């Protein structure tokens, strides 16, 4: 690709891409996102490649491997453009038929389509499918349109047009004003107004300023930023170049965890491509503005998503937070004014410039503008990435997009914001989701994790699980977080093992108050959310564990009792063979007996019994 020396050359290059015959061609986009890749998307793509090769030039189809198409529970997904036909759960065996029927004859294959649960009619087109209908994809918008390894694809989809506009028509001040007016708030969790952060940094004294993209996504079950880095890396770069221009930074870093090797690879490729064609480096598009991006790989500590810890890590030091003030905008990387925003924030910027701050600000709620990407996982029918306007209710997300609770179960709670978010009960399903509303019910927006739980989750066990994660990930620098997470985990473990005492809930609440108010960074301050929210909304479950030594959800192993119903037991001995503790005895063909003294409550007999003769109670 040629070196583009002016904005006009870029515009001319894009025009040529759009008038090229390929631009109108039939396209197959095989989803290569984090959900589809492990389900065999590469094999599906290879099968298409082979099939198209065998068919020869008579079939004119462009094959692409796209970024995440969102609906991960339907992996592997295939999108056929321009009709926007979406096929799901595609295997290599389906490929010849798709080529023969859909690509050549234009027929829809009903068996690969989403089926309306009400009347079983096949819904082939993206616009007909409820999972996509409530969405407003800004950040995810180009993901099922482009090949993330192709700069041409990004350019043809309007990529770098915002940068053109910024360099040609806007002063740095005008960019900051536009970002401020858009109401964009940091998508990494803190929700700090992005425009204000940029202004602080721009106005901070000093010639050298830095810009950082925080790609240290570490929440269990969350993969929004990963999907964007892997699926649309140039959008992140474009946002960063615009940001650098606005604050006066010429060097930037993308901090991305080592566990995201594909993100690292795609970002590295995008940086090389942008540099080669003059979108990075000195004198970008003849504007005189110089900007560089480097990748800084993290070793996977959750706390490094905290901005001061992240800065220490980029500097090569131990990733521990430092007290603020001074704030990074004034005294950040190597002591220089630094703006840190997360992947999703950067990826929002091109759209804000392209469509205008007012358009962006018209979406959302009073204090939270635009859209938010959520990683919808857990006990819902449709899991995956969703992007909805701020203010969409939890009910819409869980039931309309997520298709309700799987296996006909009952909604119990949704945890938003990653491990340090709170568990929100069904009373608040109609809560319009934004930064402030989530906080008002004891949770957080975080970076957009959303874990849905049904009646099979024990809320005490859930709190214990998240606390064990946070305890493991606490850096240990400050006392309240280091010792607080340790002691809360200790107490929750006692409760789930039937050794809880009447004093424990109040003691945890007291300890949580100090962790929240006196911890050094957001990790310790928010670590209390899963505990306090479950204590508040699911108190009766704690009481059952503590007072009656009972786990109502039948999860906490120590509190379970397994028995064999002599009426139902056929004496097949399957459980006897499975039992690791030799606790089940009896003659073949006769009802078996389970020795409670020996039972280790592993539940294997319960799983193996075909006759439902093993009962579990608490």
Q: Which residues contribute to the site for other proteins (CB under 8 A)? A: 301, 303, 318, 320, 322-323, 325, 471-487, 490, 503, 507, 510-511, 513-514, 517-520
Q: What distance in Å separates the CA atoms of residue 261 and residue 470, rounded to the nearest whole number?
A: 24
Query: Nearest Cα to 25, choosing from 105, 80, 107?
Result: 80
Q: Identify which of residues 256 and 521 has a Cβ nearer to other proteins in the complex.
A: 521
85-87 and 78-81 beta bridge pairing: antiparallel
- Give the phi and the psi of residue 335 in degrees, each rounded to 5: 80, 5
Residue with smaller CB distance to other proteins, 72 or 481: 481
Residues 6+ apart with CB under 8 A from 534: 423, 459, 460, 462, 463, 541, 542
Output the 3-class SS for 204-269. Answer: CCCCCCEEEEEECCCCCCCCHHHHHHHHCHHHHHHHHHHHHHHHCCCEEEEEEECCCHHHHHHHHH
371: β partners: 389
Minimum CB separation from other proteins for residue 481, in Å?
7
Nearest CB to other proteins, comparing residues 319 and 391: 319
The minimum distance between CB 477 and other proteins, in angstroms, equals 6
Query: What's the min distance (Å) between Cβ of 514 and other proteins?
Result: 4
Task: CB nearer to other proteins: give 319 or 446.
Answer: 319
Tell the smallest beta-carbon distance from residue 303 to other proteins (Å).
8
Our CB check for other proteins shows the closer of 219 and 351 to be 219
CB of 436 to other proteins, least distance (A): 16
**Residue 278 or 484 with smaller CB distance to other proteins:** 484
Question: E strand or H helix at 416, and its extent?
Answer: strand 411-416
Distance separating alpha carbons of residues 94 and 50, to the nearest angstrom: 13
Determine the Cα angle at 343 with ends 342 and 345, to 5°. Answer: 70
CB neighbour class for 31 (10 Å; exposed up to 12, middle 13-18, buried from 19): buried
Is residue 172 packed enough to be buried (19+ CB in 10 Å), middle (13-18) or exposed (0-12)? Answer: middle
* Comparison of 411 and 469: residue with beta carbon closer to other proteins: 469
Take residue 398 and report the two structure tokens written for it: 């869980």
Distance CA 569, CA 606 (A): 12
Q: How far is the CB of 330 from other proteins (least distance, A)?
A: 12
- Min. distance of Cβ 334 from other proteins in angstroms? 16
CA gap 491, 590 in Å, rounded: 43
Q: Is the Cβ of residue 37 or residue 518 nearer to other proteins in the bound state?
A: 518
Least Å distance, CB 513 to other proteins, is 7
If one counts every other C-beta atom within 10 angstroms of the C-beta of residue 118, the result is 6
Residue with smaller CB distance to other proteins, 228 or 489 = 489
Q: Could you tell me the smallest distance in angstroms from the CB atom of residue 435 to other proteins? A: 18
**Is the Cβ of residue 485 or residue 592 nearer to other proteins in the bound state?**
485
Residue pair 184/193 in contact (Cβ under 8 Å)? The answer is: yes
Q: Are 293 and 280 in contact (CB under 8 A)?
A: yes
Residue 598 — left, alpha, or beta (φ > 0 → left; ψ -120 to 50 → alpha)? alpha
Return the number of the residue (127 or 517) whose C-beta is nearest other proteins.
517
CA–CA separation, 304 and 257 (whole Å): 9
- Residue 117 CA to residue 485 CA, distance in Å, equals 44
Beta carbon of residue 507, minimum distance to other proteins (angstroms, whole number): 6
- 3-state SS of the chain: helix, strand, coil percent to 5? 45, 15, 40
Residue 94 C-beta: closest distance to other proteins, Å = 46
- We find the least distance from the C-beta atom of residue 322 to other proteins, in angstroms, to be 7
If the CB atoms of residues 162 and 481 are measured against other proteins, the closer one turns out to be 481
């Amino acid at each position: 690709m040629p070196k583009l020396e002016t904005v006009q050359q870029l515009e001319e290059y894009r025009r040529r891409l759009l008038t090229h015959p390929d631009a109108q061609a039939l396209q197959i986009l095989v989803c290569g996102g984090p959900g589809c890749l492990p389900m065999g998307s590469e094999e599906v793509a290879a099968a298409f490649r082979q099939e198209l090769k065998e068919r020869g030039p008579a079939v004119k189809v462009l094959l692409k491997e796209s970024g995440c198409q969102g609906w991960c529970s339907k992996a592997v997904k295939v999108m056929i453009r321009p009709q926007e036909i979406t096929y799901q759960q595609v295997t290599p065996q389906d490929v010849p038929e798709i080529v023969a029927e859909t690509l050549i004859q234009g027929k829809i294959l009903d068996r690969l389509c989403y089926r309306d649960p009400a009347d079983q009619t096949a819904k082939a087109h993206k616009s007909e499918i409820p999972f996509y209908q409530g969405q407003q994809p800004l950040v995810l918008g180009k993901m099922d349109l482009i090949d993330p390894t192709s700069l041409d694809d990004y350019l043809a989809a309007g990529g770098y047009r915002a940068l053109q506009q910024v360099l040609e028509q806007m002063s740095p001040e005008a960019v900051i004003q536009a970002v401020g007016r858009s109401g964009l708030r940091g998508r990494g969790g803190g929700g700090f107004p992005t425009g204000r952060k940029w202004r602080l940094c721009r106005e901070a004294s000093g010639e050298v300023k830095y810009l950082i993209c925080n790609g240290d996504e570490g929440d269990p079950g969350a993969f929004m930023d990963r999907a964007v880095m892997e699926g649309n890396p140039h959008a992140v770069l474009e946002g960063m170049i615009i940001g650098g221009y606005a604050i006066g930074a010429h060097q930037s870093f993308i901090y991305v965890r080592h566990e995201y090797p594909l993100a690292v690879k795609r970002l590295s490729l995008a940086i090389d491509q942008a540099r080669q064609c003059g979108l990075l480096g000195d004198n970008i598009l003849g504007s005189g503005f110089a900007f560089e991006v480097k990748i800084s790989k993290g070793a996977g500590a959750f706390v490094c998503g905290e901005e001061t810890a992240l800065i220490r890590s980029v500097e090569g030091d131990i990733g521990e937070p430092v007290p603020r003030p001074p704030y990074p905008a004034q005294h950040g990387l190597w002591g220089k004014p630094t703006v840190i925003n997360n992947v999703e924030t950067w990826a929002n910027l091109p759209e804000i410039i392209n469509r205008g701050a007012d358009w962006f600000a018209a979406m959302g709620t009073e204090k939270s503008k635009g859209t938010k990407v959520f990683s919808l996982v857990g006990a819902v029918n449709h899991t995956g990435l969703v992007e909805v306007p701020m203010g969409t209710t939890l009910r819409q997300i869980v039931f309309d997009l997520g298709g309700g609770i799987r296996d006909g179960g009952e909604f119990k709670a949704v945890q938003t914001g990653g491990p340090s978010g709170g568990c929100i009960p069904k009373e608040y399903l109609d809560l319009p989701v934004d930064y402030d509303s989530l906080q008002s019910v004891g949770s957080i927006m975080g970076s957009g994790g959303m874990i849905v739980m049904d009646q099979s989750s024990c809320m005490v066990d859930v709190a214990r699980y998240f606390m064990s994660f946070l305890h493991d990930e606490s850096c240990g620098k400050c006392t309240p977080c280091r010792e607080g997470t340790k002691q809360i985990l200790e107490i929750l473990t006692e409760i789930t093992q039937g050794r809880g005492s009447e004093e424990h809930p109040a003691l945890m609440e007291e300890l949580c108050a100090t962790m929240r108010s006196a911890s050094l960074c957001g990790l310790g301050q928010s670590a209390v959310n899963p505990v306090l929210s479950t204590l508040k909304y699911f108190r009766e479950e704690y009481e059952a564990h503590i007072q009656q030594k009972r786990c109502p959800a039948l999860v906490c192993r120590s509190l379970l009792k397994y028995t064999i119903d002599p009426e139902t037991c056929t004496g097949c001995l399957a459980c006897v063979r499975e039992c690791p503790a030799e606790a089940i005895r009896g003659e073949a063909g006769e009802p078996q007996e389970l020795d409670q003294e020996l039972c280790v409550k592993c539940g294997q007999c319960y799983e193996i019994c075909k006759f439902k003769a093993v009962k579990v109670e608490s």
